[in-house]
Amino acid sequence: MAVRDQFAEAITAAGDPEGACLFTTGEEDAVYFSPASVSAVPHLIALLDAQPSPAPEREGASLLAGTQKDWDLLPRTIH
């Protein structure tokens, strides 16, 4: 929750960039910073020692900060 709150504060200070959002990835204590959010939260990325990774699958993800349309940033499972 602290990461979510710090993320939301930094994104607001950056002017709420389009597509700036934060997801949990389904892995224990892992989060995914959207590409649009990276420039607004370098301090959080450094604090968490975050590494670049592909977007998580929708099934295991939860939106922590952002808008409903940010779900479109995650890949869909194709059957």
Confidence of residue 19 (pLDDT cuts 50, 70, 90): very high
Q: Beta partners for 24?
A: 31, 62
Cα-based torsion angle of the residue sequence 45, 16, 18, 42 in order, rounded to the nearest 10 degrees: -10
pLDDT of residue 27: 78
d(CA 34, CA 67) in angstroms, rounded, equals 12
pLDDT of residue 77: 72
Domain ranges of the chain: 2-69
User: For a pLDDT cut of 70, what percent of the chain falls above it?
Assistant: 97
Confidence of residue 29 (pLDDT cuts 50, 70, 90): confident
pLDDT tens profile 54-78: 888 888 899 999 999 999 988 887 6
